[in-house]
Amino acid sequence: MRRTINIGLVGYGFMGRAHSTAYRQVCPFFRPGLKPVMKAICGRNEAAVRQAADSLGWQTYETSWEQLVNREDIDLIDICTPGGSHRDIAVAAAEAGKHVFCEKPLANSLGEAKEMLAAVEAAGVKHMVNFNYRRVPAVQLAKQLIDEGAIGEIRHWRAVYLQDWIVDPQFPLVWRLRREEAGSGALGDIGAHIVDLARFLVGEITDVVGMSATFIKERPLPIDMMGLTAAAGAQRGKVTVDDGAAFLAHFDKGAIGTFEATRFATGRKNYQRFEINGSRGSLVFNLERMNELQFYSLDDAPHFQGFRTVLVTESVHPYVSAWWPPGHGLGYEHTFTHAVADLLNALAKDRMPQPDFAEGVRVQAVLEAVEESWAQKKWVQVKE
Amino acid sequence: MRRTINIGLVGYGFMGRAHSTAYRQVCPFFRPGLKPVMKAICGRNEAAVRQAADSLGWQTYETSWEQLVNREDIDLIDICTPGGSHRDIAVAAAEAGKHVFCEKPLANSLGEAKEMLAAVEAAGVKHMVNFNYRRVPAVQLAKQLIDEGAIGEIRHWRAVYLQDWIVDPQFPLVWRLRREEAGSGALGDIGAHIVDLARFLVGEITDVVGMSATFIKERPLPIDMMGLTAAAGAQRGKVTVDDGAAFLAHFDKGAIGTFEATRFATGRKNYQRFEINGSRGSLVFNLERMNELQFYSLDDAPHFQGFRTVLVTESVHPYVSAWWPPGHGLGYEHTFTHAVADLLNALAKDRMPQPDFAEGVRVQAVLEAVEESWAQKKWVQVKE
Amino acid sequence: MRRTINIGLVGYGFMGRAHSTAYRQVCPFFRPGLKPVMKAICGRNEAAVRQAADSLGWQTYETSWEQLVNREDIDLIDICTPGGSHRDIAVAAAEAGKHVFCEKPLANSLGEAKEMLAAVEAAGVKHMVNFNYRRVPAVQLAKQLIDEGAIGEIRHWRAVYLQDWIVDPQFPLVWRLRREEAGSGALGDIGAHIVDLARFLVGEITDVVGMSATFIKERPLPIDMMGLTAAAGAQRGKVTVDDGAAFLAHFDKGAIGTFEATRFATGRKNYQRFEINGSRGSLVFNLERMNELQFYSLDDAPHFQGFRTVLVTESVHPYVSAWWPPGHGLGYEHTFTHAVADLLNALAKDRMPQPDFAEGVRVQAVLEAVEESWAQKKWVQVKE
Amino acid sequence: MRRTINIGLVGYGFMGRAHSTAYRQVCPFFRPGLKPVMKAICGRNEAAVRQAADSLGWQTYETSWEQLVNREDIDLIDICTPGGSHRDIAVAAAEAGKHVFCEKPLANSLGEAKEMLAAVEAAGVKHMVNFNYRRVPAVQLAKQLIDEGAIGEIRHWRAVYLQDWIVDPQFPLVWRLRREEAGSGALGDIGAHIVDLARFLVGEITDVVGMSATFIKERPLPIDMMGLTAAAGAQRGKVTVDDGAAFLAHFDKGAIGTFEATRFATGRKNYQRFEINGSRGSLVFNLERMNELQFYSLDDAPHFQGFRTVLVTESVHPYVSAWWPPGHGLGYEHTFTHAVADLLNALAKDRMPQPDFAEGVRVQAVLEAVEESWAQKKWVQVKE
């Protein structure tokens, strides 16, 4: 008989829906060691959170996260709110002895992230930050190939994360465009993902030099600030985060890297692409074609070397045997189901899930170094 | 308050899992007019069906479909068994006054398909055959563009459905390779999908000439005949269906078409590709990149005409607004959720869902004409 | 010291320009055993042919091909005229003891093609038909891989040749749309290429069933019938060739094939694509990306099997070492230079160049079987 | 009657062959205002240069460039030598009153480049630096679309130029890997191209921060230092240029840019890719598919926006009408023919060809700023 774990989720927006799907889908496909019980969802607007509980499948709801983290019937707090509230919720949850699963970026600053890490470590609870793109089967396959030595010694990392949802100057000033809530713009939101993947696949980043830009300085205030689809009102406010950012980096083992994150790449919707060049081969991934991985190998005969497009949908590929036959691709939300499966299996075995808050802290340190570098117009060491 | 409908599902294999997911996912994302209740699942092996009920989320189970179709608490019978049993189950379900939702192909022969249609019509129940690929957002977008006149008068339909899962001669003789259960090989299994899409997008097929081939005549008998992953034993049996088939066709409004379905296209996993050329533009779809549709338009300025790759993940695209932000792609199973959403909404409004059994009969008539054409080595009219 | 050979070219249109480029380029890059001397070009319009001689680099010109083939200083006649005149010129050239290099298709009918073959054999001269796409490096690489056994036993050939230059109903009735000059439409013009490639790569075609269609029955007569860019006049005439055609085929060693050629594939410019599926791998080529070949191999480890895109620009690839460094692609006209290099090297060694007229005859036999099949609405054997 | 111009070419390696082809091909296809006469080619090794003159089609040869530039029958000096000799040859040619056509990069340092510019301006001769990739039809089409306002205000430039020809540590120390001859490594060789294209398409670069890396510090000395295919000997020497480099930049009108050039991108042969994001659309080019340009436009209807792949082979496209029908692609060497056509037409009209030496100086200034930035580990202004 499988044991259960009671989940309390904070936030019912985009991320709340994605996490809810993961809890619903994880058992039929993965049969994890712990079965999640969707105990309670939490949000400030009672009408909205009640409706979310009903449509997303949560047994109860709360309108105050303080109340949620202190409920005795909750074992794990899942944080799906904007970054500005991560620290307070996570620290309180840890102090209440709950495990904590937190959306990325871990926090809005390196200082906050470190406080969170200290809190979970002091409390001795388990903790995980949800860099969900590590859980794309193609990304796991990339990791596997690197670990097998298939591309040799890594020379180059080259990543972009391109979106275009704020190209229109009339797009309103939603919370993601305000520093006090989001902490950072494209850099912290989507740049954080490629920093995490770089660390996961290549290694530690030692020093950086970067720049950022805000192309549209003022935008209409939103009428409804709930989500990305908010309507624009007549009043205007100041954009206080970056629209795009780029940086150069060195890795600890000698590779060099380039990174770019922007919300102004017209036509790019969720174009997270990385290319890794090694001494024996190369790998390329593009999230807009997330079921594919490209792989070039110098071990092939010279007359037929070329970038293979591996359709990462075979039962030999990571996570795939739980799903469908070859060629029947997965989508965005599956990354969350994979994350939750891994989380639950780690908890079932009393192991620390990965990436944990220490990993989240290191990502934050890189982002902060990039911002400092741009402020000082020079290369900056990433803090330990 | 939404009304509910009680579902009884026959079959817990590949398709049973896909349909179960659809029933679980349809409410959080689509809020259909009728809320499905996963009442009972049915299969012959009690241990297996009990486990399936538990893991897939069904309240009860049955080991005899006869019992299931006669349960008073069931409103709709969903048939996910091999084609050889569709007729009997569907006819019995109709006679018991249940709505019927049936996996494709509708039956193993045109005669059986017609019996099924007669039964549901006589009973006055609703019926739908699950050609799920109509529900890919990119396919719906193709339909919309055609209806808008974006590609003008259609000249050419060109479709292949390529897989490779039986290339290995040691792959065992599973049920899909035996005529008595599967009715047909690649032609009826995957060829049926591209015939349905051709009819959906271009129109009626009037006459055909085709061929089929069985490259590997004998295969090891499977030790476990439950699924595609069965192990091969020492004894051998005869393959009684086609490994691949191709045919030429005329459409009622003047277009010409080519079709090919095979399980011997090494390297192709689920490569269902169609291209439609019209007098003003063209469309291309490939299921292995199911979130994309290619579109060429003569209405573009001459110096920048080209095939666009539309990432069909915008809220303006069919079905997409229910899901995630732009660029966050969907996967295979979403087509089932879409089908169930459409089915439930039709039932809620007391309308006939589409494609209904009459559509399934017409697909069967085309497949039968292809087989007859190959037997006679000449062009054959598709029967009305 | 390299010997020389004097060339006489008939035709100064599209093909005449392409062949002239080949004679100019072949020596600097290939240093063939025989050095071609661009002796004389021939065309009916004296002003035009004089200008062509000057701009294309021919020493002299003629206005009558009869005169050209009888000039004593000519060693080889290169025929670049429409198919309707191939027979007469080739037979006369052979009788005058000249080698003959003839554009494809060899003739407008199987009968004419056989007469040509008889004439060159009787005269004992060398002969070659210019199926230039055999000379794309990627196509040669495909041949090499097949010969090495890289894809195993061939099961499927799947080829289309798609263009769109007559989609506009106002496009004039140029010579390529009139049976008396062109012999056939899309089938004979571009279909001939994919038939040649199928025979080159897979083997002999034994029997076929096909169809053809003429979507636009009448077109404006051209004001200038010289070339493809002719302007349309007010008078109209009947289109007497097919706009598109498709057929199914069997190969002598058990493979099955599909072929389609059309000038009505809106958006496709020179989209000659073939895919070959074998028991160990697959190959894909598309002329619109002629520097690439895709190759899938079951010999790869299961977790990284995928279609490789081989950039066929390495010095180990056929023809490439004569040209540029890796990644510096070739274009359309290079196929002619390769053909001429192979022709001259064969002549230098007193060998028969390939494909010779016997090959051209066999292509013609397939095309004729397709037409007969459509006339009779049934499968037809290809004549020996 | 067209006038003629006598060409003297210095260098018979890779670039000498490419330029020779351009002079041979330009007249049949472009009929430029001035007809080039291939008067003399120059190289130090008499046997080799005599053979080059013969095979490439030059009337005479010289073994000293000093002699060549002073020959009275030469009107234009074309410099195809390594960058280390550009200054001396160009200055002498200008002083001798010859027009100068010089391969890129203009010189090995900004100082040398400025001396060259001063010399040609003092002499009043015409001058052009051969950034040949401006002459790819797809690149010209990109320029045209930008000038038409098709992508609006430019926000992002993102370019890489990736090769892999020295990934093998045993590849010998050819001249391109030694600072005294090549001036710079990947940065100056291929990085120069993307700097030129950025300036051509986006505008002036104002400030930069960059890095470079030399992954393999020592290599075997080559036995034959003539070309890229040199064999490696037993002795080793120090690599004195970068293997790869990357930098960030600002443009004068507000766009931000990223650049990377490397010879260590395993599997990338000549992968020069740029992407430009503007407020109304985007453009993408990749030299490995040089006949294509991708274009995204917000002016398309929302339901079919997508990146078009424009096959830049239509007669409405730049340079294409001189060549072949649609879909019959061009190759690498055509860029040289286009450059020479433009050069000759400018000279015929007594206009300054573009890009002239002033443009070459500005590219050099950017490269020098990148190197300075890396030396100082901070952002650096590009010198006027």
* CA angle (D240 as vertex; A299, A249 as ends), nearest 5: 65
CATH dotted code for D137-289+291-330+362-376: 3.30.360.10
d(CA C367, CA C373): 10
The answer, for C374 touching chain B at a CB cutoff of 8 Å, is no
Chain B residues 140-169 with CB within 8 Å of chain D: 141, 144-145, 150
Chains in contact with C, counting 3 or more C-beta pairs less than 8 Å apart as contact: A, B, D
Half-sphere exposure of C301 (CA within 13 A, CB side): 12
Q: Give the strand pairing for B3-10 and B34-42.
A: parallel
Cβ atoms of residues C258 and C159 within 8 Å: yes
How far does Cα D207 stand from its chain's mean position?
22
Q: Which pLDDT does position D48 carry in this prediction?
A: 95
Query: Residue range C255-279: average pLDDT?
Result: 98
Nearest alpha carbon to residue C20 among C40, C2, C34? C40
Give the tens place of pLDDT for each residue, C160-185: 999 999 999 999 999 999 998 888 99
For C284-320, letters b (16+ CB in 10 Å) and e give bbbbbbbbbbbbbbbebeebbbbbbbbbbbbeebbbb
**ipTM of this predicted structure:** 0.95
pLDDT above 90 for A227: no
d(CA A327, CA C307): 13
Give the tens place of pLDDT for each residue, D219-267: 999 876 444 456 777 899 999 999 999 999 999 999 999 999 999 999 9
Q: Which pLDDT does position D223 carry in this prediction?
A: 79
Cβ atoms of residues A43 and A12 within 8 Å: yes
Cβ atoms of residues B100 and B80 within 8 Å: no
pLDDT above 90 for C36: yes
d(CA C310, CA A309): 11
Q: Which pLDDT does position B233 carry in this prediction?
A: 78
Residue B40's φ and ψ, nearest 5 degrees, are -150, 145
Which residue in this structure is represented by tokens 């015929």?
A: D348
Task: Give the pair of three-digit tokens for residue A24.
Answer: 């619903």
Q: What share of residues in chain C are helix, strand, coil (percent, to 5)?
A: 35, 30, 35
The answer, for A289 touching chain D at a CB cutoff of 8 Å, is no
Cβ atoms of residues D152 and D283 within 8 Å: no
> What are the residue ranges in chain B where pLDDT is below 50?
1, 225-228
Cβ atoms of residues A290 and A135 within 8 Å: no
Q: What is the dihedral of CA B40, B43, B49, B53, to 10 degrees?
A: -20
Alpha-carbon separation of residue A143 from A149, A198, A283, A317, B186 (angstroms) = 10, 11, 10, 12, 36
Q: What is the dihedral of CA B236, B239, B243, B247, to 10 degrees?
A: 170
| Shortest alpha-carbon distance between residue B160 and chain C (Å) | 10
Cross-chain residue pair D265–A275, CB shorter than 8 Å? yes
pLDDT above 80 for C231: no
d(CA C327, CA C312): 8
Residue A177's φ and ψ, nearest 5 degrees, are -105, 10
d(CA B277, CA D244): 46
d(CA B138, CA B292): 6
| Shortest alpha-carbon distance between residue C61 and chain B (Å) | 38
> What are the residue ranges in chain D where pLDDT is below 70?
1-2, 224-230
Nearest alpha carbon to residue A99 among A132, A73, A124? A124
Q: Which helix (H) or strand (E) holds C8?
A: strand C3-10
Which residue in this structure is represented by tokens 């607004």?
A: B321
Nearest CA in chain A to B288: A327
How far does Cα C186 stand from its chain's mean position?
13
Nearest CA in chain B to D327: B306
Residue B256's φ and ψ, nearest 5 degrees, are -115, 155
Which residue in this structure is represented by tokens 């939103």?
A: A222
Q: Which pLDDT does position C230 carry in this prediction?
A: 63
Q: Which pLDDT does position A228 carry in this prediction?
A: 47
Cross-chain residue pair B295–D309, CB shorter than 8 Å? no
d(CA D6, CA D77): 9
**What share of chain C in percent tops pLDDT 70?**
98
The answer, for B282 touching chain A at a CB cutoff of 8 Å, is no
Task: Give the pair of three-digit tokens for residue D73.
Answer: 């029958």
Nearest CA in chain D to A160: D158
pLDDT above 90 for C225: no
Q: Which pLDDT does position A230 carry in this prediction?
A: 63
Nearest-by-Cβ selection for D310 from B150, B304, B311:
B304
- Residue B62, classed as helix, strand or coil, is strand
For A299-305, the CB contacts below 8 A with 24+ separation are A299/A150, A300/C308, A302/C314, A302/C316, A303/C141, A303/C144, A303/C145, A303/C310, A303/C314, A303/C316, A303/C317, A304/C141, A304/C145, A304/C150, A304/C295, A304/C297, A304/C308, A304/C310, A305/C308, A305/C310, A305/C314, A305/D267
The answer, for C303 touching chain B at a CB cutoff of 8 Å, is no
Question: Model confidence at A354, in pLDDT bands (50, 70, 90)?
Answer: very high
Residue D368's φ and ψ, nearest 5 degrees, are -65, -35
Chains in contact with A, counting 3 or more C-beta pairs less than 8 Å apart as contact: B, C, D
The domain limits of chain C are 3-133, 137-289+291-330+362-376
Q: What is the dihedral of CA C42, C48, C51, C56, to 10 degrees?
A: -50
Q: Which pLDDT does position C375 carry in this prediction?
A: 97
CATH dotted code for D3-133: 3.40.50.720
d(CA C111, CA D242): 66
Q: Which pLDDT does position C227 carry in this prediction?
A: 47
Q: Which pLDDT does position B228 carry in this prediction?
A: 47
Cβ atoms of residues B218 and B239 within 8 Å: yes
* CA angle (B255 as vertex; B249, B257 as ends), nearest 5: 35
| Shortest alpha-carbon distance between residue A365 and chain B (Å) | 28
Query: Residue range A340-368: average pLDDT?
Result: 98
- Cis bond leading into C355, ω under 30°? yes
Chains in contact with B, counting 3 or more C-beta pairs less than 8 Å apart as contact: A, C, D
Give the tens place of pLDDT for each residue, A30-81: 999 999 999 999 999 999 999 999 999 999 999 999 999 999 999 999 999 9
Nearest alpha carbon to residue C213 among D291, D42, B251? B251
- Cis bond leading into A325, ω under 30°? no
The answer, for D269 touching chain A at a CB cutoff of 8 Å, is no
Nearest-by-Cβ selection for D310 from B294, B306, B310:
B306
The answer, for B217 touching chain A at a CB cutoff of 8 Å, is no
Q: Which pLDDT does position B15 carry in this prediction?
A: 95
Cβ atoms of residues D66 and D95 within 8 Å: no
Contacts of A320 in chain C (CB under 8 A): none
Nearest CA in chain C to B151: C266
Query: Residue range A149-156: average pLDDT?
Result: 98
Averaged pLDDT score across all residues of chain C: 96
Contacts of B322 in chain A (CB under 8 A): none
Chain A residues 231-250 with CB within 8 Å of chain C: none
Helix D46-56 with D14-30: angle, nearest 10 deg: 20
Q: Which pLDDT does position C384 carry in this prediction?
A: 77
Question: Model confidence at A345, in pLDDT bands (50, 70, 90)?
Answer: very high
pLDDT above 80 for C229: no
Q: Which pLDDT does position A234 carry in this prediction?
A: 81
